[in-house]
Amino acid sequence: MTSHARRSSRDGVLDLYPHVGIGRFKAALADLSVGIRLLPLALTLGWLDIKMRYRGSMLGPFWLTISTAVMVAALGVLYAELFNMVIKDYLPFLALSLVLWGYISTLIGESTTVFANESRLIQSARMPFSLFALQAITRNLLVLAHNAVVVIAVFAIFHVMPHHLWTVLPALALWIVDSVAILLCLGLLGARFRDIPPIVMSLLQVFFFVTPIIWRPELVGTLAGWMLINPFYPLLAIVRAPLLGEMPALLIWEAALAHSAVLIVFAMLVFARFRARIAYWV
C-alpha cells in the first residue's frame, strides 16, 4: 500500500483501498463520522442550492408554497365530495399528507442522482460521500419548511390543535436517519445503474395511490392491517397522527421501526461494500 493509501485508510474519508470484511464497515463508518463533523458545510451547501435554484425569482421557493396551496384547495374540495367527507376534517389531513409526501417523494427522487450530479466534485476532491446526502436532506428540509406554511394556515382556519407532540421528535429523528440511508443506498445504485431513476419514479407514482395520502386509512376497513406492509404508511402515520391530534398506535410504531431497521441494514451493507467504487461509477 502506498503512503497516500495509508493516510486515506487512517482518516477513512475517501479510502479506495480494497478492504475486505470488517475493514469496509470501518471505512463506511468513518465516512459517516466525517460527514457529520462537516454538517455546517452541508447546511451551507443546501441553503446555496435553494438560493441558486430560485435566483432571479421574486418569490423564490414560496412558488412551491403557492402551488401546494392551490393543489390542496383543489383536491380537498374534489375528494371531500367524492369520499363524502366533511371538508373541515378532510382538508387538514390532506394538506399535511401532501406536504409530508412531497418531502418523501422529492428526497427519494433526488437520491438516485445524488452522487451522479456531483461527479466533478467527487472526482476532484477528497470529501466524504455522506456530505452529499446531508446536503440533499438540508435542501429538502428547507422546502418542507416553506410548504409547512400551507399546513399551518389550514390548521388555523379549521382550528386543528396538535396533541402528543412529544412523539413527533423521535419520529422526525427516524425520518432523518432513514433519509440518510435511502440517499446513500439509492445514490450508489443510481450511480452504477442509470435505469434506477426512472424505475424509482414509477414506483413512487404507484405508492402515492396505494398509500393513505389523498384518502384516509379508515376507508379500507378490515384491510387496514395489511397497509403496514407498505413502508410509507407507518412512517407517515407516526408524524401525521400527533399533528392531527391523534395518538399513533403502538403497532404503527413497531412497523415503522421494522421497516427502518431493514432499510438501514441494507443501506449500510450496500454502502460499505461498494463505497470505494462511487468515484469510478460517476
pLDDT tops 80 at residue 62:
no
Residue range 188-209, pLDDT digits in tens: 999 888 889 999 999 999 999 9
**Closest C-alpha among 140, 118, 260, 85 to residue 187:** 118
- CA dist list (Å): 229 to 94, 207, 251: 22, 12, 12
pLDDT tops 60 at residue 12:
no
How would residue 156 be classed by pLDDT, with cut points 50, 70 and 90?
very high
- The average confidence (pLDDT) of the chain is 86
Determine the pLDDT at residue 87: 86
The stretch 254-262 carries a mean pLDDT of 95
SS3 7: helix
Place of cell 418569490: 59
| Nearest-10 crossing angle of helices 129-158, 87-111 | 170
132 and 114 Cβ atoms separated by less than 8 Å: yes
181 and 267 Cβ atoms separated by less than 8 Å: yes
**Percent of residues, the chain, with pLDDT higher than 90:** 46
Determine the pLDDT at residue 8: 46
Q: Which of 21-30, 49-58, 178-187, 267-276 has the highest mean pLDDT?
A: 178-187
Return the domain boundaries, the chain: 21-281
The stretch 17-27 carries a mean pLDDT of 71
154 and 92 Cβ atoms separated by less than 8 Å: yes
The Cα 36–Cα 231 span in angstroms is 26
DSSP symbol at 248: P
Determine the pLDDT at residue 14: 56
Determine the pLDDT at residue 223: 72
What single string gives the DSSP state of each residue in 185-199?
HHHHHHHH-TTHHHH
**Closest C-alpha among 189, 210, 38 to residue 128:** 38
178 and 235 Cβ atoms separated by less than 8 Å: yes
SS3 content of the chain, % helix, strand, coil (to 5): 80, 0, 20
Residue range 203-227, pLDDT digits in tens: 999 999 999 998 888 887 777 778 8
Determine the pLDDT at residue 54: 75
pLDDT tops 50 at residue 9:
no
Determine the pLDDT at residue 85: 82
Range with lowest mean pLDDT among 46-55, 176-185, 241-250, 253-262: 46-55
Residue range 95-134, pLDDT digits in tens: 999 999 999 999 999 999 999 888 888 888 788 899 999 9
Q: Which helix (H) or strand (E) holds 245?
A: none
13 and 38 Cβ atoms separated by less than 8 Å: no
CA dihedral 167, 169, 174, 175 (to 10 degrees): 110
Q: Which of 31-35, 55-59, 230-234 has the highest mean pLDDT?
A: 230-234
The stretch 42-56 carries a mean pLDDT of 84
Determine the pLDDT at residue 3: 45
